[in-house]
Chain A
Amino acid sequence: MAERVLMKGNEAIAEAAIRAGCRHYFGYPITPQTEIAAYMAKKMPKIGGVFLQAESEIASINMVYGAAATGMRVMTSSSSPGISLKAEGLSYIAGSDVPALVVNVQRGGPGLGGIQPSQSDYFQATKGGGHGDYRMIVLAPASVQEMASLTIKGFNLADKYLMTSMILADGTIGQMMEPISFEDAEIEVYEKPWALTGTNCERKHNVVNSLYLKPDELEIKNLERYKRYELVEQNEAMWEEYMMEDAEYCVVAFGIASRVAKNAVAAARKEGIKVGLIRPITLWPFPVKPLAAAADKVKAFISVELNMGQMIEDVRLATQCKKPVSLCSRCGGMIPSPDEVLEAIRKAQKGAF
């Protein structure tokens, strides 16, 4: 039996990152993700790594950019308002095709918002945030175990596709404790001939750059990048299906909302409602396949989110609006109760949207 340890979600991310070979962490304090920085501050100096508290989120993401360009595994973490500040760096990292891991333990917004859990950065994470055409691999853990395993996966994917992997978590999973295991962690190693190491006067200089003043060159760069993104879409979508075999209704939820939704699905089943759950684990690439398949089977979808309805747009796109999609959501740091989700399932069954 694998060794299991009891950890907070945020600490699990930090420990997993270290196990994934990350020896450089740059960050700026913000609630509710501070345990990641605290863990790194304690551990890194003891294992020959670097924890550095930057003067701002902007500085920290640019430190990440520089570090990533040297070929090292590097990360930063923050929460919603801090991610807005990092958006500039995220765009440069994307435009320069270097790999990085960025964690967003979301809190309610907009503005300073609150410090309670939220999923209202879905658009920011999956549709952009920074300027320009770019994507990030967005991983949405729903347990402390996944905080760890998706962090390791995130580093692997970032190196494989030369892009940012974002862990899109929320304050609840960040703060809660569950037993987890690290034993299945697979660390992939990729060659990085583009890295800044110094030429040693033996090769032509490497340039890490996102500036292309000639429009045809910039277009080619973007097209190449999107070829890579296509591969990510083809190969890397992840999701979990729960009670979908005979489902007539389909709840779609990720992260902490999926935990609540699962309870509601189980309760609805007891009432005889044939309902299942599709839980996207990657938000980009969005798991279009299972949703498109479900759209031919089920009568309706219910999107459960901690925001005003963001993922619901992707659910409608994936299902090509073949079936009605209703929204069950709370926001501002509030979490729907299983009963609220159950009620939304009952409503969907009655055809009341």
Chain B
Amino acid sequence: MAEFKKPKSLADVPLHYCPGCPHGIIHRLVAEVMDELGIEGKAIGVAPVGCAVMAYDYFTCDMIEAAHGRAPAVATGIKRCRPDNIVFTYQGDGDLASIGMAETVHSAARNENITVIFVNNAIYGMTGGQMAPTSLPGQVTQTSPYGRDVKHCGWPIKVCEMLSTLEGPEYITRVAVNNVKNVNNAKKAIKKAFQNQIDGKGFSLVEVVSACPTNWGMTPQKALEWVESDMLPYYPIGVYKDRTAAKEAE
């Protein structure tokens, strides 16, 4: 039986995340993938502004902290200077789908050869639970205390669906980490997203549907159930674009 060990790519420090927060799982998946692909020494990670802001302390590869939403632009600058390094961003929904939407769309359109890990938990966690671009209709948050009213503030954005309409990107997929099966599939998707970069295929984004027990006001267990019952029907798991697979199928 395999021994359960901490991945080399993950620093041996306590994470600051709330109890029950899946960021720890997602960090671990990214680190395991870096170990398995042997890219820890080549990787350069871009941390976001949001709950994962201190990701630069958690990954053992070279790291940079970007301004809110600008991670794909920062990653572009790095990758264009050092095309042989493996460059990834790790971003939340406010960062990637609200303030950084332009950077997201255009780096995808350019098929920038980077890997984007997009954690969607439908809320701004770090600032204490405000409505996110991905908050569900009716979802109660600090800034939608009567539930998200789509007539007043519009509809949540389906990032994978939107990006998959672009010619540019190589790989756009949505996974979840609410149960073991989904976690295993999430890892496969993350690995593919990094492998694509190694193979020079281009922009690969993995949306990870996650949970925020603290700001959703739920127990961790209940939050995972809510992912299944409310999040995933609106944000279905699946591969939205895979250029290489599509070509092979032709």
A-contact bits for B61-92, CB 8 A (1 contact / 0 none): 11111110010011111101110011000000
Instruction: Confirm or deny: B172 has a beta carbon within 8 angstroms of a beta carbon on chain A.
Output: no
How far, in angstroms, from A58 to B56 measured CA to CA in the complex?
22
Interface string of B147-184 (1 = CB under 8 A from A): 00000000000000000000000000000000000000
Bound form: Cα–Cα A67–B77 in Å: 4
CB neighbours of B74 from chain A (8 A): 62-63, 65-66, 69
Find out whether the CB atom of A198 lies under 8 angstroms from the CB atom of B42: yes
Interface pair B81/A54, CB less than 8 Å apart: no
The reply on A64 being an interface residue by CB < 8 A is yes
Q: Interface code A58-94, partner B: CB below 8 Å = 1, 0 otherwise? A: 1110111111111010100000000000001100100
Tell me if A's interface is mostly helix, strand, loop or mixed. Answer: mixed
Interface size on A, residues (CB 8 A): 39
Take A52-B76, A64-B77 as given contacts and tell me if A88 and B41 are in contact as well, using a CB distance cutoff of 8 Å. Answer: no
| Set A62, A67, A200, A207: member contacting B80, Cβ < 8 A | A67
Contact with B along A305-346 (1 / 0, CB 8 A): 000000000000000000000000000000000000000000
**Given A55-B106, A70-B82, A198-B41, does the pair A62, B73 have CB atoms closer than 8 Å?**
yes
Which chain B residues lie closer than 8 Å to A70 at the CB level? Answer: 44, 77-78, 81-82
B93 at the interface (CB under 8 A from A): no
B95 adjacent to chain A (CB < 8 Å): no
User: B65, B81, B86, B105 — which one has the most chain A CB atoms within 10 A of its CB?
Assistant: B81
Interface string of B106-118 (1 = CB under 8 A from A): 1000000000000
Residue in B closest to A70 when the chains form the complex, CB atoms: B81
Beta-carbon contact of A65 and B77 below 8 Å = yes
- Whether the pair B103, A59 counts as a contact (CB closer than 8 A) is yes
1/0 per residue, CB under 8 A from A, across B41-65: the answer is 1111010000001101101111111
Comparing A33-41, A167-175, A208-216, the segment that makes contact with chain B is A208-216
**B40 on the interface (CB 8 Å rule)?**
yes
Complex interface: chain A residues within 8 A of B61 (CB): 198-199, 205
Q: Interface 1/0s, chain A 180-205, versus B by CB < 8 A? A: 00000000000000001111111001
Shortest beta-carbon distance from B16 to chain A in Å: 10
| Number of inter-chain CB pairs below 8 Å | 135
Chain A residue numbers with a CB within 8 Å of B57 are: 207
A66 touches B102 (CB 8 A): no
Taking a contact as CB atoms under 8 Å apart, the answer to whether A62 and B66 are in contact is: yes
**Size bin of chain B's contact surface:** 35 or more
Are the C-beta atoms of B56 and A199 separated by less than 8 Å?
Answer: no
A60 neighbours in B (Cβ, 8 Å) = 73
Other contacts beyond A24-B81, A66-B46, A74-B77: 19, CB < 8 A: A55-B102, A58-B103, A62-B74, A65-B64, A65-B66, A65-B73, A66-B77, A68-B77, A69-B77, A89-B70, A196-B63, A196-B64, A198-B82, A199-B60, A205-B62, A207-B57, A208-B64, A209-B56, A209-B63
Q: Which residues of B contact A (CB under 8 A)?
A: 40-44, 46, 53-54, 56-57, 59-67, 70, 73-78, 80-82, 85-86, 102-103, 105-106
A-B contact pairs, 23 of them (CB 8 A): A24-B77, A54-B76, A55-B105, A58-B73, A59-B73, A62-B67, A62-B73, A63-B80, A65-B74, A66-B81, A69-B77, A70-B78, A70-B82, A74-B81, A196-B64, A196-B78, A198-B41, A198-B42, A198-B82, A199-B61, A205-B59, A207-B57, A211-B53
Closest 10 CB pairs of A and B: A66-B77, A62-B73, A66-B74, A63-B77, A67-B77, A55-B106, A201-B41, A62-B70, A209-B65, A59-B73
